[in-house]
Structure 1
């Protein structure tokens, strides 16, 4: 019965390549039965509900593909919507019982989609065209399913990779075009999986040379090569016809010493060229970077079936073998490649090429100051210059950069046609399911008061352990956590969890960039290991940490994974964990060095070594690209002033399937507002991550098309970046783009400028400019309530003083304010100023001055008004801008008020607004202060105008826009008059 049903459904669904059709009619056409038997329908429903059946898997694949298709001829509903699913069922003519069974077996996934910023492009890569050549993409899909990817995750990758490939130039296009693009992911979030999918689809479509720029170290390049060989290129292309049983012929073939060879390497069941597809020839191997074109230039002298037509003609292109190389971003290696390509000659003008630049903001960007270049002479850094030469030699080359920190790439000069500016598209990938990112270590939107946070309701309490200066730096505790988490993994294996989930178990210690410090720290760790785990006191200490920490966290976050009920249950596994960690004599590996051989350690090879259970000590080389497999405990105290460098150091971000509850981050903290202290590392990460999330959110907001036209194109992303990242000098920035953002419309959205003056005189002048609106501090205090919502089941209250001010009086104040550095508030002010009727009308603004809790309140009068409740605010690390200005609950309260505004609800009050009233949250703030510092800024209860600055968040009404719904407006810098559309 099962085989009969499976074969029937395979045949029926195979006949639905263009979309769902009447299932019964097609079943009748392909089977001998006149109509499905009742027992067949019953078996169908039962097998669907058995999620492990082949039939359930078949329908999961097909139904998910229909759910996620960007366009669906059978439905006008958007992808991933309930209506799309309902339309699909209607086409299939399924009864309610079958629909319910399918819904239960294949739940609708409505997760976030890639955000695409793109100009117009030639639409050549339709779903139908993609389906015509799918050999390597289909093989990659099988690999992902074998690895345990869900159909929803595969569909998401399918869509994201399709979005990239369709914006490349058609490989069969008559005229040459070289597209430039950038794909932005998250640190350690699976960007390699995305570009592997892009490569698979691109070579299926006709690209015949793929160059992957795979990091700056052999270690990183080798990781990428192995991943492509294992999941895409496959056994048969690696062996090139050699029998896997011919041991003599296999000598010298890579992967013979690999733990996963050959069973985990994809098989194509024979040479692809013998199956109507084409072979892939590797020009690099796992251990050897690019050495030169094998057999001379003939390697790229691709045979044409029709010599009278160019290579890019479909007749010649699709039978031709593809060439793939993974090369290091190294001057000597890339110079050799450029030199060889120069010798190849004319065929390069016919050759469709795909260049994938992994970690494209590292080494690839030209960092020479344009102001220091000789006029009329091009100056480039070495790697950037060689990439530029590649692009010139390969006129049909498509360049796609991948990074988690995109700012350096979008600051590339867009007018430089030979550089890597992403002029054609910028794609922001969604946060993957199962990924542990900043949201899993910070309570960014947590509404629970700090005093009420527990391991159950706070990510920080669950996973983060602060390390403060002092005699106890918690390094021993971090070692204990490493051993305990390893023991719990072994316990879970004994309870049926697959051992493959815990093949590697690692701890990362990153305290300094200096190699001498690494040696000293490794010696200390080895001494601690030998001293503190050789007596019964070790078990007492481990038992205490397990009981006070791990039991509670795992109890709240284990997600069904087995958790030991006591330390006595876990104790037998502690010894085995220590044995695995001590294999080879020491549990510690130092990862640093200036030369490649410094990284050629067998114990560091996650691919060839069966189990790596080690403590890794290092610095810069652990900060980018290098994937630390099985990372569970991180001890991190290194500081830096660069935002992108700091983000890339977040190796603790990633996928932690089966052990999310065991992850611990020991990170450097500073005593709050202590004298002479700097912003602590944890807060620095939070601030920078908020910047990046805000950048992504703006991309998503402005990606919406208006009248079929994009609001934002890649060359105009730059002003959005500058708004959040103040590390780039205005003069250099002005030379990198030729348009400026002059208006940002934010109906119903919070506007929160943060670059307040650092100069005391400017601060005093700004305070004086607020004088007409300061009576808000004279008003009686009122209690404002935020009722339970999705963020908290509790009603939260705060006190504030309020006043209603006219639109003109507010704009009069805002238009006179001074800012630090580049004035990022101007585009917002240009919008707000129009709300007097020329764009939309705002009658009044509810001015709200929130107050701190009475027990902690420090008050002072400001220019004779008040007293006002003083608050502390701090600038972000390495930036002129502050972090969050408004309190989270204050912001939520104001957004709720704006969202519930009703026409005619006047006069405005703290409890109700009209649709033509906005909200301003106003704070009397002091920079870097404790309670004593607050009082010092206001001696005798009178605020010093040069030390107390007035910071604000402004939320316009949701109706504050015109019929066009456009959110951005630009103008050209060169003329100062021409407006860009």
Structure 2
């Protein structure tokens, strides 16, 4: 059967639905005469028109169309090859793939060089030369981000061209079940100063989850779904570690659902791109999304979803094929139209979905998505018979009740140097491996009177400066350091708060006698006593001993301190950020040390503001502070915050003891 005959048969189904060619052409933004030439065989349509037509017929007629649009695309490609103008198209595709691979290899090499350069600069920080290396490190990080984006784009193009060729591409062969990506991840953690104990904790947590999933090479599909209660949230070390192990195990399609906000998706994409880099002598990773390129309809690049097989007669999940097949990774928003489109394109693949070992990670199961989005997420999972679905949540209270489709619940043990609800509010979660002195509201919480909020805001800023100076004193380098101010949902009030903070910053007198006296009083009454009792890191014997580090910290902070958005700025890791209830998920997590809450709705919004403040705080767990309005009202702001997180901590503790898996 020719392409034109097959297309006309499909069009007859569309015509029976009483939809005219003119109206359909208008819906596709194509001239009716052009659409007519497509269907009478005078002009070959683009792939996008074919996919759209099949999709539209399915929706209008509610009838399945077996084999489509894959069959039509095969016929279309054959017709394109048969045209004189496309003579030698396959050779051209292979030549282009070769050129793109050379360009990608060069970009990969540049990524390795820049990563090594950053490691050398970090060694300089450890040696005490942070002030000299700071600007250079920011420049190199920017170059590294650009090169990684370049690699992602090139890998997408290579995937599209590789799978259009009739012969399998030559790829590296690795043993399925090895630990190539996991070992690279361990190396990257060690380069960032992680201890062996911290890496072992991630190893143990990710293995517990991986053990619950089906074997990718199993002869029969065995879909599994479950929940992981993860302290950190977002693209945490446990998430990245699980991805690395899953690729090593043989999962070849990875879909990461990153919430409903564009910036959250970008943050997750950045974290994955930074820690999961294609390795030499392996089939590599094909990134179907990038930091600035969300998942969209692939149209001509639909082939980027197709999988190469070294042995076409065998299924993809056969070990000999998984050895040489690249892993496709995409990070997408939990958006109904995007997920529906993705599902349709998966169904259109020529590679049978029953052969593809897939892993779907939902990093925002408690996000405010509606029932329709939940349904399409379930439909997406069901479309992949070998799909394993794992949701990660940083809180237990918003999780759906476990049903018969949930195979396991795994509660990750709390990492060392993690500060969470049980530390602040003193509830029942076990604190194995941490200093028992680092707990309680007396350590972390500072209440203030509502009628004196200007003074309290200045005190929070003073604490931000002091804790930054202690970080410098401890040689923690140019890590992120942040003051987070959570306030009203109203844009005007957020802008007013930013103006207040900027004016306050301009008026503080840290180089004058009054300002230094204020800092010394806060150091002597708060910072020094808490840090000395916690024994986390070095603490100056006096404020005068801290003065040199304070000067470096003030220079690091600069004049323009208050940021106007939540996007991290590579060359300004120290910042003050103002957020409302709807921006909590966007708030910077790395380095957030001081949290100031006021003006938020008590029951609904205020507890969530602590999420970016909780987290891994290596070397400075004793420096965290929470400023919150005082009050004895049992239904007031602080009471609701404490009640919420105590309940969450108690439930998490129970799941750590009795986590399920069957």
Structure 1 match to 2:152: none
Aligned counterparts of 2:587 and 2:507: Cα–Cα separation in 1: 31
1:509 Cα shift? 0.6
CA contact (8 A) 2:306 2:351 kept: no
Q: Which residue number in structure 2 is paired with residue 337 of structure 1? A: 342
Higher share of residues assigned strand:
1
Cα distance in structure 1, aligned partners of 2:507 and 2:301: 59
Is contact 1:637–1:668 with CA below 8 Å preserved after alignment?
yes
| Partner residue, 2:561 | 587
What secondary structure, in the 3-state scheme, does the structure 1 residue paired with 2:425 have?
A: coil
> Can you give the 5+ residue segments of structure 2 that lack an aligned partner in the other structure?
1-173, 430-435
Of 478, 488, 496, the match for 2:460:
478
Which residue number in structure 2 is paired with residue 687 of structure 1? 643
Matched, 1:201 2:162: no
* Cα distance in structure 1, aligned partners of 2:272 and 2:613: 24
2:295 and 2:281 mapped to 1: Cα distance?
24
Q: Deviations over 1:257-294 (max 9, x none)?
A: xxxxxxxxxxx4xx333xxxx21111111221113337
Residues 136/319 of structure 1: CA separation in 2 closer, same or farther (3 Å cut): same
Matched, 1:181 2:216: no
What's the CA shift for 1:649?
Answer: 3.5
Judge conservation of contact 1:505–1:629 (CA < 8 Å) in 2.
yes
Structure 1 position 652 matched with structure 2 position 613: yes
Tell me which of 353, 366, 370 is aligned to 1:348. 353
Instruction: Select which of 401, 409, 416 maps to 1:411.
Output: 401
Counterpart of 2:257 (choices 203, 206, 213) is 213
- 1:385 matches 2:375: yes
Kept in 1, the 8 Å contact 2:485–2:578? The answer is yes
Distance 1:324 1:637, change over 3 A: same
1:840-866 CA-partner distances (Å, limit 9, x unpaired): xxxxxxxxxxxxxxxxxxxxxxxxxxx
Does structure 2 conserve the Cα–Cα contact (< 8 Å) formed by 1:351 and 1:396?
A: yes
Q: Give the Cα–Cα distance (whole angstroms) in 1 for the partners of residues 495 and 616 of structure 2.
A: 30
Identify the residue that residue 742 of structure 1 maps to in structure 2. Answer: none
CA contact (8 A) 1:508 1:631 kept: yes
CA contact (8 A) 1:189 1:655 kept: no
CA–CA distance in structure 2, aligned partners of residues 701 and 504 of structure 1:
34
Unaligned runs of 5+ in 1: 1-128, 238-267, 368-379, 416-420, 447-454, 592-598, 704-711, 715-981
Counting only pairs closer than 5 Å after superposition, residues 306-455 of structure 1 correspond to structure 2 as 306-345=311-350, 347-363=352-368, 367=370, 380-381=371-372, 383-411=373-401, 414=403, 423-444=406-427
Distance 1:647 1:461 in 2: 21
Kindly indicate whether the alpha-carbon contact (under 8 Å) linking 2:593 and 2:625 is maintained by their aligned counterparts in 1.
yes
Of 624, 630, 638, the match for 1:669: 630
Deviations 1:699-734 (A, max 9, x none): 34545xxxxxxxx678xxxxxxxxxxxxxxxxxxxx
Question: Structure 1 residues 313 and 572 mapped into 2: Cα distance closer, same or farther (>3 Å)?
Answer: closer
Residue 35 of structure 2 corresponds to which residue in structure 1?
A: none
Residue correspondence of structure 1 range 940-979 to structure 2 within 5 A: none
Match of 1:773 in 2: none
Separation of aligned partners in 2, 1:643 and 1:617 = 18
Aligned-partner SS, 1:624? helix
Q: 1:486 to 1:699 in 2, by over 3 A?
A: closer
* CA shift digits 1:416-468 (9 cap, x unpaired): xxxxx6x111101111111011233234479xxxxxxxx97873223211023
Task: Give the match's secondary structure for 2:450.
Answer: coil
- Structure 2 counterpart SS, 1:633: strand
Deviation at 1:192, TM superposition (A): 2.0
Q: State how 1:146-165 maps to structure 2 within 5 Å.
A: 146-165=191-210
CA distance in 1, matches of 2:262, 2:638: 32
| In 2, Cα distance between equivalents of 1:485 and 1:558 | 15
Aligned to 2:8: none
Of residues 441, 446, 457, the one that matches 1:465 is 446
What displacement does 1:620 show?
2.5
Alpha-carbon deviation of 1:559?
Answer: 2.7
Whether the aligned pair in 2 keeps the contact of 1:283 and 1:294 (CA below 8 Å) is: no
**2:481 corresponds to 1:505:** yes
Aligned-residue offset at 1:647: 4.3
- TM-superposed deviation, 1:353: 0.8
Q: 1:556 to 1:713 in 2, by over 3 A?
A: closer
Task: Measure, in 2, the Cα distance between the counterparts of 1:397 and 1:320.
Answer: 17
* Separation (CA, whole Å) in 2 of partners of 1:575 and 1:149: 28
Q: How does 1:713-732 map to 2 (within 5 A)?
A: none
Does the Cα contact within 8 Å between 1:561 and 1:658 map onto a contact in 2? no
8 Å contact kept, 2:176–2:322: no
**Residue of structure 2 aligned with 1:605, choices 543, 565, 568:** 568
Aligned counterparts of 1:153 and 1:456: Cα–Cα separation in 2: 20
Shift of 1:643: 6.9
**Structure 2 CA distance, aligned partners of 1:156 and 1:530?**
44
Say yes or no: does 1:288 pair with 2:262. Answer: no
Distance 2:438 2:241 in 1: 37
Q: For residues 552 and 156 of structure 1, what CA distance do their matches in structure 2 show?
A: 30
**For 2:517, what is the secondary structure of its paired residue?**
helix
Specify the alignment match of 2:594 in structure 1. Answer: 633
Distance verdict in 2 for CA 1:563–1:390, change over 3 Å: same
Q: Deviations over 1:660-702 (max 9, x none)?
A: 23221111221x3xxxx35343333332233223223333454
Cα distance in 1 for residues equivalent to 2:439 and 2:479: 29
CA distance in 1 between counterparts of 2:651 and 2:426 reads 19
Distance (whole Å) between structure 2 residues aligned to residue 484 and residue 463 of structure 1: 15
* Distance (whole Å) between structure 1 residues aligned to residue 657 and residue 365 of structure 2: 25
Please tell me whether the aligned partners of residues 189 and 653 of structure 1 are also in contact (alpha carbons under 8 angstroms). Answer: no
CA change 1:700–1:605 in 2 (3 A) is closer
- SS of the equivalent of 1:617 reads strand
- Number of the residue aligned with 2:581: 620
Q: 1:400 to 1:389 in 2, by over 3 A?
A: same
Structure-2 separation of matches of 1:174 and 1:400: 22
Q: Distance in 2 between matches of 1:140 and 1:152?
A: 15
Distance 1:469 1:687 in 2: 21
- TM-score (normalizing by structure 1): 0.46
Question: Does the aligned pair in 2 maintain the 1:405–1:644 contact within 8 Å?
Answer: no
Secondary structure of the equivalent of 2:352?
Answer: helix
Matches within 5 A, 1:2-151: 132-151=177-196
Separation in structure 1 between the aligned mates of residue 463 and residue 552 of structure 2, nearest angstrom: 15
Task: Give the Cα separation in 2 of the matches to 1:681 and 1:692.
Answer: 17
What is the RMSD of the two structures over their aligned residues, measured on CA atoms?
3.0
CA contact (8 A) 1:329 1:363 kept: no
- The Cα offsets for residues 583-639 of structure 1, whole Å up to 9 and x where unpaired, read as 5xx211234xxxxxxx5xxxx425xx1332211111134423644321121101354
The structure-2 alpha-carbon separation of the partners of 1:643 and 1:155, relative to structure 1 and needing over 3 Å to count, comes to farther
Q: Which is higher, the Rg of structure 1 or of structure 2?
A: 1
Structure 1 pair 445–333 and aligned structure 2 pair: CA distance change class (3 A): closer
Question: Distance between the aligned counterparts of 1:440 and 1:700, measured in 2?
Answer: 16
Q: Deviations over 1:893-930 (max 9, x none)?
A: xxxxxxxxxxxxxxxxxxxxxxxxxxxxxxxxxxxxxx
What is the DSSP-based 3-state SS (H/G/I as helix, E as strand, rest coil) of the residue aligned with 1:410? coil
Q: For residues 769-788 of structure 1, what are the alpha-carbon distances to aligned partners after superposition, in whole Å with 9 as ceiling and x for unaligned?
A: xxxxxxxxxxxxxxxxxxxx
* TM-score using structure 2 length: 0.67
Separation in 2 of the partners of 1:701 and 1:159? Answer: 16
Q: Is the 8 A contact 1:171 1:352 kept in 2?
A: yes
Q: Do the aligned residues in 1 keep the contact of 2:250 with 2:322 (CA within 8 Å)?
A: yes
> Counterpart of 1:547 in 2: which secondary structure?
helix
CA distance in 1, matches of 2:661, 2:479: 44
